[in-house]
Amino acid sequence: MKKLILYILLQFAVLLGFGQVYHVGDLYTAEDGSQGIVFFVRTDGSGWAVALHEEAGILPWSLTEVDIPALPNYSSTFPQALLADTSGYTNTQQIRNFYGANNLYAAGAMDFEHGWYLPAVGQLAMIYAQLPLIQSALLAAGGMPLVTTEGVYGDIYGVSYLSSTEISAQSAGSLCFIDDPGNVLYTNATGTPKPYEKIYPTRVRAVHNIPAPNNVYDSTLTYLWNTGSTEPHFHDVPLQTTTYIVTVSNAYGCTNTDSASVMVIDNNPQTIYDTVCQGAGYSNYGFTVSSQETAEAGEIVRTYTISAVDCESEITLILTVVPHDTVQIEQTASESFEWNGVTYDESGTYTQYFNNQDGCDSMVVLTLTIDGGGGSGPDPDTIAISEGDSLMIYLPNAITPSNDDGLNDYFYFPEKYLPLITDFEITVYNRWGAVVYHSNDKHFRWNGAINGKIYYGVVYNYVIHFYDIIERPYYLKGTFTVL
């Protein structure tokens, strides 16, 4: 198993600096006076900044569909392969060498002589990962925010951002900051890159390299890491995603604490669970399944091998085709029963139409019994299930552990369904696809803590699969926000 080896060398406010130490969201000023917002900082203080304004409106990647031999062609069949390219400066240089400094196309319009260049698709993805912070910083600096809604162009040509990453002679990598998973023109809500026809114009935003400052450590200070190390820097080989915390103290007892989280990714085989509505096409994670293949409900399994950045991994997709069905549920209440915002106070049969947790059309028929508290029907806090039914489960889209009110602090499975399910598994991913939580306990409760720390304002994706008591499989997926 290949693991990321990290050399920890964090820069803190306690450093004696010969050069400014930047943080994400800071305003960066280049030597010529041009400015941008910092969106990525390495441990040595170097990084990248995104320009305050768009480059000359919308521009094409090139004027012809020709492959540039000096550029590697990245696969568009698996988005993570595209994300490996962060060589925007080198890419831009090669494009300009090939076409010349022609400001009618994206790379040529860059102020390359002063260090501004067309970002690689991996750099665009890093901007996306910090988008709320970057947007507010752009506005505070008097800049133009990145487009996150449909504009006057009304289609992908006006809202996608070009990268310098080449996919083929016909297309280059692009990324759209519009979180619209229902519109196939755009990326989904995880910042996934997409191929883009080179000759079609769209938006362009330059980036700039930030040089590393020349820092030295103050030898009069003491350092204490949560690993036990007392050195200003140390070498570590984390076997799992880890948060490193350092506390720095001076002779007067004043302290300063900072931290950095390191994601560790291995090249073991990966299995992706997903769902699609019956009769609908599917395109995600580099897999494409036609609507003809999903005409029947059931399970589709696809596997392929991906190679990127000196790693190789086998990816398996287990795709559940969800049927359009009618669901029967029974409920007993003493006086009244509230269902999706509607209160019923009489026994009877009620019907509602909606999209279920898989986004597929469903009709739910509720048989309600109002027994005045003395009936012999099912318990009001339980759901009955029979051979023709399937469980309709509703999970929250937000939890609020920051409120300190003891309410809605955990993401968990509704207790009334627990007696009806077996072989339970939940996996929670961050927006980059890394696993941040996993459990086989159907009684799980998670408050968003990763290595003991809760990150607020973060959206997580979850995948849940289990069997009901009559051995039918279920696969649930969705998102929730930790507030």
C-alpha span between 222 and 26 (Å, rounded): 28
Residue 398 structural domain: 393-483
Strand-pairing partners, residue 48, are 40, 209
pTM of model > 0.85: no
Quick one: 82 and 192 in the same domain?
yes
C-alpha span between 237 and 131 (Å, rounded): 30
CB 437 within 8 A of CB 447: no
Structure tokens that stand for 132 in this block:
């709320």
Structure tokens that stand for 318 in this block:
């287990």
Reported as half-sphere exposure (CB side, CA atoms, 13 A), residue 153 has a value of 14
CB 135 within 8 A of CB 127: no
Tell me the chain's radius of gyration from C-alpha atoms. Answer: 26
Identify the domain boundary among 261, 295, 322: 322
In a domain, 257, yes or no: no
Quick one: 206 and 60 in the same domain?
yes
In a domain, 450, yes or no: yes
Quick one: 186 and 313 in the same domain?
no
In a domain, 386, yes or no: no
Which SS3 state, helix, strand or coil, does residue 203 take?
A: strand
Identify the domain boundary among 210, 233, 262: 210
Q: Which of 86, 83, 62, 57 is nearest to 147 (CA)?
A: 57
How many separate domains does the chain show?
A: 3
In a domain, 215, yes or no: no
Tens place of pLDDT per residue across the chain (483 aa): 333 333 333 333 333 334 567 888 999 999 889 999 999 988 778 899 999 998 766 788 887 888 888 888 876 555 566 677 888 999 999 999 988 877 788 888 889 999 999 999 889 988 888 888 999 999 999 999 888 765 544 445 567 888 999 988 888 888 877 765 444 444 444 556 777 888 888 889 999 999 887 655 677 888 899 888 888 776 676 776 678 888 999 888 888 888 776 655 556 677 777 778 888 888 776 678 888 888 888 888 888 765 544 556 677 888 888 776 565 666 777 777 766 557 778 888 887 665 544 556 666 677 888 876 544 333 433 344 444 456 777 788 778 787 777 778 899 988 878 878 889 999 998 866 778 899 999 999 998 888 888 877 677 889 898 888 777 888 888 888 786
C-alpha span between 283 and 455 (Å, rounded): 30
Q: What is the DSSP string of 87-149?
A: -HHHHHHHHHHHH-S-TTSTGGGS-GGGTEEPPPHHHHHHHHHTHHHHHHHHHHTT-PPPP-S
Q: Which of 153, 149, 152, 171 is nearest to 162 (CA)?
A: 171
